[in-house]
Amino acid sequence: MIVDETNRFRRSSAHIGQSHAAPWIDATTNEMYTFLATVMLMPHLKKNRIRDYWSTDHLIATPIFAELFTRDRFRALLSNLHFRDNQYQTPEASLYKIRPIIDELKKRFFCCLSPYKNLCIDETLALWKGRLHFKQYIPSKRNKFGIKLFVLCDCKTGFILDFIVYCGSKTELNYQKDLGVTGSIVTTLLERFLNKGHSLFVDNYYSSPALFEYLHRYKTGACGTVKKNRAGLPTFEEVEGPGGQVFYHTDNLLAFQWKDKHDVTMLSTLHEPIMVPTGKVHFVTKQEKLKPLCVKEYNENR
């Protein structure tokens, strides 16, 4: 697919700004594998400019790149790299050019692993410094600019099962009004894993009583930190002193607040309000430290 579309794009644009370029030779599958491997190698040997990877200066020379490609051939492949025919692109399709790659990755992720019981959903940022209308800036991340992804993972192996690329208002979701955008992210990612007895662990960006009740109806347990002001939560009493706790129960839901260094508020359809040993001893009292079971299992699966 990548080879075919790259060759197609080069042939369709051969007359544009190529008067001084070397004659184009169609890319092959083996050459494209080598090209992609070279691109993956480059971040491990950071240099200021692409041409520096082919420098013969003995202070910065890395001969492996010249052994794989001439500089001009690499740049020709890079400038013509394509994944889809531009002819059918529509203005509203934010991911049109990489849609085949996304679909193929999702298919492979789904087929490669039958997940264990515990799953988790979180956001990640793929580094991107180019121009893009849905590029995100997150100051707390090491790579502050990038493309935000919502990712479903198997907790035991860390294997990615599915993902959603965030495109602002054009993000592709199976939107459910009762659950809002964050709840719809969860249900979209879990669509193929419902009614299979999985347990989901999420942070307070996603957790809500409405979402957890929805998942419970589809035989999927859920546990996560939760914001105190989420609709449907009770008003928690003030918790005094480290280790203090207060909880509320419905038939399916546990809302639990525990005092550690700060208040920790949890929501779960998986747990009872019990305390378990942490394996640590308090340095003053010499007594074994305890924490809620829901907090312990949440920390183990995030």
Tokens read off for 180: 């809002």
Q: Across residues 142-148, what is the average pLDDT? A: 84
* Shared domain check, 243 and 161: no
Tell whether 264 and 297 lie within a shared domain.
yes
Give the number of other CB atoms < 10 A from CB of residue 207.
26
Task: Of 57-71, 159-173, 277-291, give the lowest mean pLDDT range.
Answer: 277-291
Residue with tokens 């019990």: 274
Range(s) of the domain holding residue 101: 93-172
**Do 194 and 278 fall into the same domain?**
yes
33 domain-assigned = yes
Nearest to 255 by CA among 277, 222, 290: 222
Question: Do 162 and 102 belong together in one domain?
Answer: yes
Q: Looking at the structure, tell me whether residues 71 and 101 fall in a common domain.
A: no
What confidence tens digit (pLDDT) does each residue in 220-277 have?
999 999 999 999 998 888 877 777 888 899 989 999 999 888 889 999 999 999 999 8
CA distance 115 to 129: 34
For residues 198 and 264, membership in a common domain is answered with yes
Amino acid identity, position 205: Y
Whether 157 and 247 map to the same domain: the answer is: no
Domain count, the chain: 3
Predicted TM-score of the model (pTM): 0.86
Q: Please answer whether residues 279 and 286 qualify as being in contact, where contact means their C-beta atoms are separated by less than 8 angstroms.
A: no
pLDDT for 14 equals 61
Based on the domain organization, do 48 and 103 belong to the same domain?
no
**Residues 74/51, Cβ–Cβ less than 8 Å:** no
Q: What is the per-residue pLDDT across 158-207, written as a single tens digit (0 to 9) for each?
A: 999 999 999 988 888 999 999 999 999 999 999 999 999 999 999 999 99
Percent share of the chain, pLDDT over 70: 97
Q: Do 248 and 294 sit in the same domain of this protein?
A: yes
2-22 per-position pLDDT tens digit? 999 999 998 887 655 555 567
Same domain, 271 and 192: yes
DSSP letter (8 states) at residue 21: S
| 288 in a structural domain | yes
Q: Is residue 177 part of a domain?
A: no
Residue 87 lies in a domain: no
What are the start-end ranges of the E strands in 49-159?
118-127, 136-137, 145-154
Q: Which of 57, 82, 107 is the last residue of a domain?
A: 82
Q: Based on the number of CB atoms within 10 Å of its own CB, is 121 exposed (0-12), middle (13-18) or buried (19 or more)?
A: buried
pLDDT of residue 15: 52
Would residue 142 count as lying in a domain?
yes
Q: With 60 as the cut, is the pLDDT of residue 67 above it?
A: yes
Note whether 279 and 298 are same-domain residues: yes
Same domain, 208 and 241: yes
